[in-house]
C-alpha cells in the first residue's frame, strides 16, 4: 500500500476506515455478507484509506486451545485474503503483531470509568454465557476495542447493532482524553455500509448467525462444500404459510430472502414475483445454489493461499510493519501528553 495514509497534507488525505474481525472460529456467511464483502467494496472504491485487522487479542477473553487458536488465525487470515482483500490496496494485519494495541489499551483503561464498563450489554451477555470464566479482560474488552480504533485515527468504523455501544464508549474516551490534553485522537463516527446484510441463524432466525452455534445446520461457513451448503439451506427453518414473501412472523423466510437478495442483487419484490406459486422447497434450493456460486471463487482462492505459508507470512509481516508505523505515532503522542519520559 502507498504511503498516502501517512501524509500530513489534509487536502490529500482520504478518510480512514478501521474494521476488525475475530479469528475465533470458521468465518461465516454472515461475516462475509455483513462485513467482509463491504471491506472489499470500500477498498476498491478508492474513497477511503482502509485498515483491517484480525483481532486475535480479543479472542482470549474465552479460553482457547493453543493449537486450535493458531489454526483459526491462519485459516481466517487466508479466508479474508480469499474474500478479496488486497494488501497492496489495504493495510491488513494481525492485531497481536502490533504491540501498541495492548499498550494503548492499558492507558485507556485509566481514562475509562468502572461504571461505563459495567453497563456494557455484551459484558453482561458473555458473563452469563461463560459464568466459569468472568475475567478482567472480558470486562475491559471495550478499552482494547477503543485502542484498536483510536491508534489509527480512524474517521469511520463500520458497526453492527451489537457493537454500537462499544463504539460510543470509544468516542466518549477519545473526547474525554482530548478535553484534558488537546486534540490527540480523531473521534470516530460509526457508519453502516451500503450493502451490509444482517444474516440470521438458519435454525433460529431470531438470532444472528454465529460460528459458535452448537447446531451445525444453523451456520454456513465460507469453507463449507457445495454439498454441505445445500443440505443446510434445505433444512432451514421457514413457516407453514408456504408463500415466499416478506412478512411478520416469517423470520425464517425473511432471512432467506435477505440472503438471496444479497448474493443476487434482486429486490424482495423481484424475489416474491420469481417464486410466485412455488413452494419453499424450490426457494431453498435456489438460495443454496446462489450462495454456492457466490462462495465458489472464495473457496478456490482460499485453497491456494492456505497452501502457501510463505506468502501468508510475508503478507501479515508487511501489514504489521505498516500498521506499527501508524500506531507508534499515535502511541508516542499519547504518552507524551500524559507525561511519560521518552526512551
- Identify whether 211 is a catalytic site residue: yes
Quick one: which H or E segment has residue 227? helix 226-234
Residues 237-266, buried b or exposed e (16+ Cβ, 10 A)?
A: bbeeeebbbeeeebbbbbbbbbbbbbbbeb
CA dist 277 and 243 (Å) reads 8
Picking from 142, 157, 168, 101, the residue whose alpha carbon sits closest to that of residue 326 is 101
Angle 37-40-43 (CA atoms, 0-180°, nearest 5)?
150
User: DSSP letter at 207?
Assistant: S
- The beta strand positions in the chain, using DSSP E, are 15-21, 48-54, 91-94, 156-158, 189-191
Cell of 288: 443454496
CA dist 56 and 141 (Å) reads 12
Helices H, strands E: what count in the chain?
A: 14, 5
Work out the number of other CB atoms within 10 angstroms of the CB of residue 197: 19
User: Which is catalytic among the residues 89, 211, 318, 337?
Assistant: 211
Distance of CA 94 to the CA centre of its chain: 13
User: Which is catalytic among the residues 208, 243, 250, 284?
Assistant: 208
Task: Identify whether the C-beta of residue 148 lies closer than 8 Å to the C-beta of residue 173.
Answer: no
Show Cβ contacts of residue 198 under 8 Å, excluding neighbours closer than 6 positions. 30, 34, 160, 161, 208, 258
CA dist 282 and 267 (Å) reads 18
Cell of 137: 479482560
Write the CA distances from 249 to 217, 240, 288, integer angstroms.
Answer: 21, 10, 22
Catalytic residue numbers, as ranges: 126, 208, 211
Amino acid at each position: 500500500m502507498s504511503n498516502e495514509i501517512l501524509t500530513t497534507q489534509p487536502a490529500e488525505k482520504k478518510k480512514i476506515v478501521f474494521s476488525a474481525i475475530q479469528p475465533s472460529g470458521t468465518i461465516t456467511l454472515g461475516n462475509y455478507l455483513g462485513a467482509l464483502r463491504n471491506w472489499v467494496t470500500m477498498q476498491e472504491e478508492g474513497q477511503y484509506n482502509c485498515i483491517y485487522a484480525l483481532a486475535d487479542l480479543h479472542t482470549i477473553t474465552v479460553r482457547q486451545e493453543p493449537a486450535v487458536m493458531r489454526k483459526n488465525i491462519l485459516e481466517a487470515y487466508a479466508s479474508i485474503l480469499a474474500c478479496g482483500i488486497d494488501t497492496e490496496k489495504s493495510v491488513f494485519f494481525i492485531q497481536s503483531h502490533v504491540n501498541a494495541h495492548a499498550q494503548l489499551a492499558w492507558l485507556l483503561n485509566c481514562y475509562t470509568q468502572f461504571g461505563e464498563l459495567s453497563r456494557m450489554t455484551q459484558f453482561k451477555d458473555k458473563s452469563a454465557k461463560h459464568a466459569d470464566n468472568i475475567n478482567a479482560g472480558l470486562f475491559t474488552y471495550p478499552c482494547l476495542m477503543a485502542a484498536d480504533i483510536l491508534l489509527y485515527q480512524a474517521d469511520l468504523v463500520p458497526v453492527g447493532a451489537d457493537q454500537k455501544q462499544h463504539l460510543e464508549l470509544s468516542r466518549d474516551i477519545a473526547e474525554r482524553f482530548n478535553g484534558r490534553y488537546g486534540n490527540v485522537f480523531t473521534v470516530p463516527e460509526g457508519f453502516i455500509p451500503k450493502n451490509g446484510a444482517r444474516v440470521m441463524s438458519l435454525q433460529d432466525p431470531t438470532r444472528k448467525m454465529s460460528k459458535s452455534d452448537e447446531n451445525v445446520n444453523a451456520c454456513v461457513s465460507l469453507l463449507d462444500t457445495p454439498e454441505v451448503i445445500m443440505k443446510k439451506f434445505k433444512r432451514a427453518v421457514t413457516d407453514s404459510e408456504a408463500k415466499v414473501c416478506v412478512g411478520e412472523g416469517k423470520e425464517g423466510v425473511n432471512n432467506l430472502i435477505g440472503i438471496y437478495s444479497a448474493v443476487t442483487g434482486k429486490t424482495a419484490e423481484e424475489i416474491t414475483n420469481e417464486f410466485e406459486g412455488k413452494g419453499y422447497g424450490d426457494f431453498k434450493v435456489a438460495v443454496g445454489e446462489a450462495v454456492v456460486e457466490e462462495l465458489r471463487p472464495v473457496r478456490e482462492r482460499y485453497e491456494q493461499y492456505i497452501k502457501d505459508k510463505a506468502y501468508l507470512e510475508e503478507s501479515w509481516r508487511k501489514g504489521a510493519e505498516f500498521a506499527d508505523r501508524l500506531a507508534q505515532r499515535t502511541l508516542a503522542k499519547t504518552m507524551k501528553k500524559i507525561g511519560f519520559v521518552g526512551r
